[in-house]
Amino acid sequence: MIETREQLQKLVEKVERKIEPVIKNIELQCEKNSEKVLTAFQKYQITEAHFGSTSGYGYDDMGRDALENVFAHVLDAEDALVRAQMISGSHALTITLFALLRPNDILLSITGKPYDTLDEVIGITDNNSSLKSFGVHYEQIDLIDNDFDYIKIGEVLSQKKIKVIEIQRSKGYSTRKSISIEKVEKVIGVIKKISPDTIIMVDNCYCEMVSDKEPTTVGADIMVGSLIKNLGGGIAPNGAYIAGKKELIKLCAERLTLPGEGREVGPTLGINKSLYQGLFFAPSVVAASLKTAIFTSALLEELNYDVEPKWDEKRVDIVENIIFKNPNDLINYCQGIQIGSPIDSNAIPEPWNMPGYQDKVIMAAGAFTQGSSIELSCDGPMREPFIAYQQGGLTYEYGKLGVIKAVERLLNIK
């Protein structure tokens, strides 16, 4: 039993010794991704002029255009769209789906039900503006034992013409495991053999730079992520990216702005430098988030809580789950994360009805950027088995301090 700060401090020291070898691997990964970013900056000869800004239509924004080339290089993609006009990851996913799908087309998810915010986008929950309302059909194949159902995927692809397959790597608010890049590579091989024209779209939120390959490295046609997660490095003030095949990125650009103007418009209003700097810091910030997640996993396991992934498991994303199995522990832990944050540390979060989510959600995020979850944050829907989804940490030291505060509140250590 841990009852005092001194006992907790001893346990923290023990945990840090235990996780040392895993932390070393994270640093090696960070080095590889840093090299990729640095090479891209040098290849496109980024200079101070790229930090300039446009207003109005945003024609000829050289900083924006070069940044999109840099992103494409880092993600091993033909092309990329990186825009502040995309509000969030969900918005970028919505733009991509509406850009690729036409009436009577079929969208097939092969990772079970997609992220909660897509329910109304797809039409799983009724909405007059959904894909369904435009006559786009949706089908879903659930995972079995945290892997793809290859038999069902083969059956569906040989029976019907599937326009877009969605693969969501990170678990969202589900209880499954996240999908490794090796599994993504394998399933893409199988899909392309049966149905080479099906577009494979990957929701890559929270997974960027966790390994040294991205979905577009291993054959995905298009992928999507948020800039207030991994690739914004905690510095991007908002925005999202879409990366992949050139002709698909063009469709997305024309959906984001308008047919005929596409990527040529979109003022940057002074944020170019932040987006460059965010990408520059992203490998280190992702590494700090991973270290914080590993520390959390090992510490909470020592305290006899169920955690996923375990501290020494190979990681796919920056998310750590603590399965609390009761609402009070979930609420206390999240409140502790808030109290341990630099911003709004005096606020006490409570579960609330967030737009786009079906259950009440408790969200702790004492972040410099509203909703930024590359900064230490913790949230969870108020439903069984009361799982905390913790992610982020701009530096390991701040991440660790926040988690210790959360554990103090959880264990009622004064």
Ligand X SMILES: *Cc1c(COP(=O)(O)O)cnc(C)c1O
Residues that bind ligand X (CB under 6 A): 88-90, 115, 117, 168, 170, 172, 203, 205-206, 226
170 or 195: whose CB is closer to ligand X? 170
Residue 105 CB, nearest distance to ligand X (Å)? 21
CA distance 295 to 344: 24
Residue 399 CB, nearest distance to ligand X (Å)? 18
CA nearest neighbour of 208 among 192, 189, 228, 225: 225
Judge contact between 341 and 402, C-beta under 8 A: yes
CA distance 236 to 279: 8
CA distance 181 to 81: 22
List, as one string, the DSSP characters of 259-270: TTTGGG----TT
Residue 119 CB, nearest distance to ligand X (Å)? 12
Phi, psi of 230 (to 5 degrees): -50, -55
100 or 411: whose CB is closer to ligand X? 100
Residue 380 CB, nearest distance to ligand X (Å)? 13
Residue 385 CB, nearest distance to ligand X (Å)? 19
What pairs with residue 226 in β-bridges? 240
157 or 224: whose CB is closer to ligand X? 224
CA distance 165 to 111: 10
Residue 37 CB, nearest distance to ligand X (Å)? 22
Residue 206 CB, nearest distance to ligand X (Å)? 5
CA nearest neighbour of 286 among 294, 274, 298, 276: 294
Which residue lies nearest ligand X, judged by its C-beta? 89
117 or 341: whose CB is closer to ligand X? 117
- Residues whose CB is less than 8 angstroms from the CB of residue 136 and which lie 6 or more positions away in sequence, other chains included: 101, 102, 103, 104, 105, 106, 107, 123
54 or 168: whose CB is closer to ligand X? 168
195 or 390: whose CB is closer to ligand X? 390
Residue 68 CB, nearest distance to ligand X (Å)? 19
203 or 375: whose CB is closer to ligand X? 203
205 or 209: whose CB is closer to ligand X? 205
Phi, psi of 36 (to 5 degrees): -60, -45
Phi, psi of 184 (to 5 degrees): -60, -45
What's the order of all strands across the beta sheet hosting 320-323? 306-308, 320-323, 387-391, 377-381, 361-364
CA distance 44 to 41: 6
